[in-house]
């Protein structure tokens, strides 16, 4: 059996993913390209006596050095040299899709065109002379309909045939006009006299083209000063006689080549008339209805993720509760009790803590897949971009920020929909400031404890608004400092509305869920268990627990544990905020999960049922703290250290512990300064 590697290239929205699913079925592996957050998908299939490995390149419109995705796609083709590159083309949008093809052609690699969604194009009245186009482009062209599983065998046949075929020099290629071609030739001659290594790897003509385009990546790889001098002179000369940057003229000429090819091979039997997408857009992006429809759909996404998600979450919690009970009841008392506790509270609690987010993530990504596959996602960004742009973000940042009000973990994962790294990072950093559902349990305990009924509603609003305001300010500040740089062009395709397929949506949803469990899940589990140790060890000596009730024993245990000791040790640091060791200990415990803050306080105060309804806990709090301190605790919980699940997710999505820790300590520092200010200023007034 012969093995070959095939790279799948194509524009976003060309149906590349559905062709990839069609070719590889369920045999897929999702990961990241090393060092970046761009997703890397691989899959395999066996066809006749060939074992074919498919690499799904990021969807791109071009192959410049301006974006990470384009660089990755290009470097993969140039450096890993796949045996065949399959370019997936949306047949109903041929000109722009072929633009990428002309650039891959220039890299001199065997190619096959998958003429996708050819059924749609034909229904629109387009007739293709594929034989003629195939002769012109010198490659096999196979009509496919990815979401209806048509054209698989033909495409695979074309791939193995192309892989086995003898390589020939191209006859047709994009010619850039006399002036530019002259300069390309001069640069190629200069290259011939210089470092043979780079030339051998990338090819003379491609290097010359990229040098003339002043491609930063290629410029940095060519070290010969003589070559760079020739390039510099050529660029200046062309700029003068053509009146524009060579790269712009060259892009124009590629479209010229495509127009020529299309003219000869496409017949359009119907004049373009209003299609269904125009009609939908006229409503969905209209001045009057655009925003209401957007808000309604965002509400549906939120509702689906958290309201519907709460049922399976409940089942999961019940299941793990039962499991824990079963172990506790079968494990006789006094028999290595710490191991039982580790198993029940540490491991089962930890696994449960991981899986409890899964329903949210699956449902959210199902909603996102639906929005993306129908084509609405681009419209959502279009409608809200003006407002998001004001705070230095992209229209698409809205969804992750909104989901942040439910839970930061799926929200951070949702920031994947942003295709610019700086936008994605900024969004991830500020998401924890959107007050999540878990923090609501803290407010629910504190607000009624310290504020009269008619102040309770406004108080809750105030906390949420502070979070939003801080998020806006933080995003703005980050864009001006850490993530400074040219705002990326918005320029975004509005794909035609399409009916999503259940298979596409399910595959997408499942891949996200699995990625979460495999990557973030393991970190969450490990830290949960570590935290369990810190909360339970060292154990107080047996004589200190004598004659105490169960609650008092737990209280003593926590005070004696690592967490309790740290809480006590940091008390001097927390004093200026108005907090004592009890709040400190609960805060440390709440790093595992924000809602744990309440149960930790319960243990510390040794109350019987430590939940937010417990009047005794509220009364004790009221006795020990002023309303100002109560407010400060809420403020600190809102802003400070995101929970470990969030840290793990940030680590996964940014692919760096650096950013995860920056977020963790940055937000904690912000919380500290802010609370300090509020408490100290507040004390003067109240």
Binding site residues, another protein, CB under 8 A: 61-62, 64, 66, 93-96, 99, 177, 242, 244-245, 247-248, 251-252, 255-256, 258-260, 262-263, 272, 277-278, 281-282, 285-288, 290-291, 378, 381-383, 385-387, 389, 486, 488-496
Instruction: Retrieve residue 457's tokens.
Output: 């509603």
- Return the ∠ at Cα 349 (arms to 348 and 351), rounded to 5°: 65
Q: Write down the least CB distance from residue 364 to another protein, Å.
A: 24
Nearer to another protein, 491 or 686 (CB): 491
Q: How far is the CB of 271 from another protein (least distance, A)?
A: 11
Rounded Cα–Cα distance for residues 138 and 127 (Å):
20
Structure tokens at 318: 């019940």
* Pairing outcome for strands 266-268 and 140-144: unpaired
Site of tokens 């060791």: 581
Rounded-to-integer distance, Cα 91 and Cα 146, Å: 12
**Directed axis angle between helix 178-192 and helix 246-265, to 10°?**
120
CA 190, CA 229: separation in Å to the nearest integer? 10
**Shortest reach from residue 35's CB to another protein, in Å:** 21
Q: Residue ranges of the alpha helices (H) in 165-275?
A: 178-192, 196-202, 204-212, 216-221, 225-242, 246-265
For another protein, which is the closer residue by CB, 36 or 266? 266
- Output the smallest distance, CB 182 to another protein, in A: 14
- For another protein, which is the closer residue by CB, 246 or 610? 246
Which residue's CB is nearer to another protein, number 70 or number 83? Answer: 70
DSSP letters along 237-254, please?
HHHHHHSS-HHHHHHHHH
Q: Which is closer to another protein, CB of 162 or CB of 285?
A: 285
Residue closer to another protein, measured from CB, 263 or 502: 263
Closest CA to 209 of 191, 184, 177: 184
Q: How far is the CB of 276 from another protein (least distance, A)?
A: 13
Prior bond to 202 cis, omega within 30? no
Tell me how many degrees the CA angle 457-460-465 measures, rounded to the nearest 5: 125
CA angle 382, 466, 445 (to 5 degrees): 120
* Minimum gap (Å) between residue 142 Cβ and another protein: 22
> Are 79 and 64 within 8 A, CB to CB?
no
For another protein, the closer CB: 93 or 652: 93
- Read off φ and ψ for residue 47, nearest 5 degrees: -130, 125
Query: Minimum distance from CB of 95 to another protein (Å)?
Result: 5
Length of the chain counted residue by residue: 686
Residue 424 CB, shortest distance to another protein, in Å, is 17
Question: Based on CB atoms, which residue is closest to another protein, 41 or 254?
Answer: 254
CB of 89 to another protein, least distance (A): 13
Q: Helix, strand, or coil here: 40?
A: strand
């Amino acid at each position: 059996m012969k093995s070959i590697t095939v790279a799948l290239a194509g524009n976003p929205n060309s149906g590349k993913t559905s062709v990839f699913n069609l070719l590889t079925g369920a045999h897929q592996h999702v990961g990241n390209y090393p060092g970046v957050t761009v997703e890397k998908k691989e899959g395999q299939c066996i066809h006749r006596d060939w074992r074919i490995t498919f690499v799904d390149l990021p969807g791109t419109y071009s192959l410049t050095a301006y974006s990470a995705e384009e660089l990755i796609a290009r470097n993969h083709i140039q450096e890993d040299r796949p045996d065949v590159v399959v370019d997936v083309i949306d047949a109903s949008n041929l000109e722009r899709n072929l633009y990428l093809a002309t650039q891959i052609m220039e890299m001199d690699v065997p190619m096959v065109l998958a003429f996708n969604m050819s059924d749609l194009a034909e229904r629109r009245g387009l007739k293709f002379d594929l034989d003629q186009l195939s002769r012109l482009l010198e490659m096999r062209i196979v009509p496919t309909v990815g979401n209806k599983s048509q054209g698989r065998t033909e495409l695979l046949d074309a791939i193995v045939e192309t892989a086995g075929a003898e390589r020939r020099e191209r006859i047709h290629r994009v010619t850039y006009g006399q002036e530019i071609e002259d300069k390309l030739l001069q640069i190629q001659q200069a290259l011939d006299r210089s470092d043979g290594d780079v030339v051998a790897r990338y090819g003379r003509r491609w290097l010359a083209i990229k040098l003339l385009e002043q491609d930063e990546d290629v410029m940095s790889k060519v070290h010969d000063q003589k070559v760079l001098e020739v390039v510099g002179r050529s660029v200046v000369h062309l700029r003068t006689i053509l009146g524009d940057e060579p790269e712009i003229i060259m892009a124009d000429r590629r479209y010229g080549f495509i127009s020529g090819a299309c003219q000869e091979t496409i017949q359009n039997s119907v004049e373009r008339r209003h299609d269904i997408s125009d009609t939908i857009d006229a409503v969905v992006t209209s001045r009057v209805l655009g925003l209401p429809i957007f808000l309604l759909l965002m509400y549906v996404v939120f509702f689906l993720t958290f309201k519907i998600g709460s049922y399976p979450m409940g089942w999961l919690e019940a299941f793990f509760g039962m499991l824990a009970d079963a172990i506790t009841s079968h494990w006789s008392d006094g028999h290595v009790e710490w191991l039982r506790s580790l198993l029940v509270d540490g491991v089962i609690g930890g696994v449960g803590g991981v899986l409890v987010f899964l329903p949210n993530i699956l449902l959210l990504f199902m909603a996102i897949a639906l929005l993306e596959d129908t084509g609405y996602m681009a419209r959502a960004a279009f409608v809200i971009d003006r407002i998001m742009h004001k705070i230095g973000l992209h229209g698409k940042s809205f969804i992750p920020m909104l989901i942040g009000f439910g839970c930061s973990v799926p929200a951070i994962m949702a920031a994947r929909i942003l295709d610019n790294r700086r936008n994605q990072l900024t969004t991830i950093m500020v998401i924890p400031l959107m007050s999540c559902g878990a923090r609501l349990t803290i407010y629910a305990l504190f607000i009624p404890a310290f504020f009269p009924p008619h102040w309770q509603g406004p108080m809750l609003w105030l906390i949420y608004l502070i979070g939003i305001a801080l998020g806006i300010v933080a995003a703005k500040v980050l864009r001006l400092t850490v993530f400074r740089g040219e705002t990326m062009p918005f320029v975004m395709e509005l794909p035609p509305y399409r009916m999503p397929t259940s298979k596409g949506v399910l595959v997408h949803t499942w891949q996200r869920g699995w990625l979460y469990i495999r990557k973030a899940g393991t970190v969450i589990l490990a830290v949960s268990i570590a935290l369990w140790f810190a909360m339970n060890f060292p154990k107080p000596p047996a004589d200190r627990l004598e004659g105490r009730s169960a609650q008092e024993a737990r209280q003593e245990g926590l005070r004696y544990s690592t967490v309790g000791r740290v809480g006590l040790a940091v008390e001097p640091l927390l004093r200026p905020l108005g907090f004592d060791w009890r709040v400190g200990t609960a805060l440390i415990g709440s790093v595992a999960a924000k809602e744990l803050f309440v149960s930790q306080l319960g243990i510390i105060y040794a109350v019987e049922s430590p939940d937010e309804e417990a009047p005794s806990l509220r009364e004790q709090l009221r006795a020990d703290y002023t309303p100002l301190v109560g407010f400060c605790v809420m403020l600190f919980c809102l802003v400070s250290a995101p929970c470990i699940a969030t840290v793990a997710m940030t680590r996964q999505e940014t692919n760096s512990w650096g950013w995860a820790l920056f977020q963790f300590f940055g937000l904690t520092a912000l919380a500290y300064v802010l609370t300090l200010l509020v408490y100290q200023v507040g004390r003067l007034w109240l």
